[in-house]
Structure 1
Amino acid sequence: MRVLLVEDEAELRNPLEARLRREGYTVDAADNGRDGLFLGREYGIDVGIVDIGLPQLSGIEVIRQLRQAGKHFPILILTARGNWQDKVEGLEAGADDYLVKPFHVEELLARLNALLRRAAGWSQPLIECGPIELDTRSQTVCLQQQPIDLTAYEYKVLEYMMLHAGQVVSKSELTEHIYDQDWDRDSNVIEVFVRRLRKKLDPEARYKPIETLRGRGYRFVLKRAESSSAE
């Protein structure tokens, strides 16, 4: 999943960016509002973290302009303690949640996880589609309750497709959401990941969880469990 991080304080931004990457996120980071707005407009962002007090362009204005540009990814705003006006203004501008500084990174990660799930229509951390279960908290996958060993990028591809189960996902969309902007993006690598996932998730070709749509991309076709879907 791709995170937009817009925070001008380097002592917060740098360790937070490093932690997000360790957690498996792809991160686009900016230290001012103008650059943050550019990244949010140009790249396939899944969730945003935007500080309110930014140089060049305020966090409120960044959010407002992203929404006006038709960007609907969930946004978590960072605010100073006790400044309730910022929280209200941020939410009214289009933010989805807020976190007050200082905060524990574990809480921020939990809120990001929840925002991503809800944006995709899931209510619980455990994503269930047929016999396949993916836990977004522990980043583990099971087939018929037996653990499946996936590489980091195999997991990223599967997580994105399961969160968007039933939807067509193009190769370019997958590369946009799992790779950093400065990486060489080869769509053939996506084919390799999908081929590996099919072998690991469906070794006997019983379920056929990932459908290929020629010229369009892939679709995760196993039905969502009712208990995991949002009301």
Structure 2
Amino acid sequence: MRILLVEDDPEQLEPLEGVLSEAGYIVDGVEDGETAQWLLSKKDYDLLILDWMLPTISGLSLCRQYRLLGKTAPVLMLTAKDTTLDKVTGLDAGADDYLVKPADLIELLARVRALGRRSPQWVGDSLSVADLQLHLSNLTVERNQVCVELSPREAQLLEYLMRHRNQVLTREQIEEALWEWGREPESNALTVLVRKLRHRLQLVDAADWIKTVYGMGYSLKAPDNFNTY
């Protein structure tokens, strides 16, 4: 799940970004409304977390503009404004939920999980290809009653491959999907990541499900005997 996190205080942005990333989310963290507005015109997000008070363009205005465009991804308003009138104003602007700062990180993650289930892209807490299961709630992959833990980035790669099973995905497509805005991956980062994920999948006897299509990219495909799943 890709999240746009907009918070103008770096001391609050960094820990929020960190805890969301560790939970397996891809987070584009920015500090001002103008950058957020530009990103919303370029990318599709599964969830928006908006600070109310932002330079130049407020989180409230961003939310209103987003809804006027017909966008339906959930919006969590994160702000120090805590009166009933403030909450009503935020909800009337199109927000789905409201969390008062300073946010408790455990509560934030719980609300993100709940809002994620409202996203048009949500397909459940688990993804399956044949008998291979990825559990997004705890970042594990399971097959033949063997369960293996994944790093957040490994889980993101497997999730993307599973959502596009049997498709050849270019390196550019994968890098754009997995890496956060403003953080360019090193030239060999994806190669290293695929190698690590294959090592994890080897523990459930599925390393060869990730195919390298030379000169093009990668694809996830179950063995032929699983085509009926």
Same fold (TM over 0.5): yes
Deviation at 1:78, TM superposition (A): 1.2
User: Structure 1 residues 29 and 154, CA, compared in 2 at 3 Å: closer, same or farther?
Assistant: closer
* Letter matched to residue 5 of structure 1: L
* SS of structure 1 residue aligned to 2:102: coil
Q: Which residue pairs with 1:121 in the alignment? A: 122
Aligned to 1:94: 94
Deviation at 1:77?
Answer: 1.1
- Which range moves more in the overlay, 97-106 or 196-205? 196-205
Distance change (3 Å), C-alpha of 1:106 and 1:165: farther
Compared CA separation, residues 217 and 65, structure 1 to 2 (3 A):
farther
Paired with 1:14 and 1:58, the residues of 2 have a C-alpha distance of 20
Aligned to 1:49: 49
Segment of structure 1 superposing worse, 101-110 or 89-98: 89-98
Q: Deviations over 1:46-92 (max 9, x none)?
A: 32210122231121211122333454433211133642333333333
**CA distance in structure 2 between the partners assigned to 1:113 and 1:167 by the alignment:** 28
Stretch deviating more after TM superposition (48-57 or 34-43): 34-43
User: Distance between the aligned counterparts of 2:6 and 2:207, measured in 1?
Assistant: 44
Q: Offset of 1:142 from its aligned partner? A: 1.0
Superposition pairs for residues 62-81 of structure 1, below 5 Å? Answer: 62-69=62-69, 71-80=71-80
What is the deviation of 1:194?
Answer: 6.3
Larger radius of gyration: 2
Q: 1:184 to 1:12 in 2, by over 3 A?
A: closer
Match of 1:229 in 2: none
Cα offsets for 1:22-44 (capped at 9, x unmatched): 33433322222222222232334
Q: Is the 8 A contact 2:51 2:79 kept in 1?
A: yes
The percentage of counterpart residues that share the same residue type is: 36
Distance 1:180 1:38 in 2: 15
Aligned counterpart, 2:175: 175
Query: 5 Å matches for 1:153-192?
Result: 153-162=153-162, 164=163, 171=170, 172-184=172-184
Residues 101, 5 of structure 1: alpha-carbon distance in 2 compared, 3 angstrom cutoff: same
Structure-2 residue corresponding to 1:147:
147
Instruction: Tell me how far apart the structure 1 counterparts of residues 160 and 117 of structure 2 sit (CA, whole Å).
Output: 10
| Distance in 1 separating the partners of 2:221 and 2:180 | 24
- What are the ranges of 5 or more consecutive residues in structure 2 without an aligned counterpart? none
Q: Secondary structure at the match of 1:5?
A: strand
Q: Which runs of 5+ in 1 are unaligned?
A: 226-231
1-side partners of 2:179 and 2:207: how far apart?
A: 29
| Number of residue equivalences | 220
Separation in 2 of the partners of 1:197 and 1:20?
Answer: 21
Per-residue CA deviations over 1:162-196 (Å, capped at 9, x if unaligned) read 4x477979545542231022344589976886687
Tell me what 1:12 maps to: 12
Any conservation in 1 of the 2:21–2:152 contact (CA below 8 Å)?
Answer: no
Equivalents in 2 of 1:196, 1:8: separation in Å? 35
1:59 is matched with which residue? 59
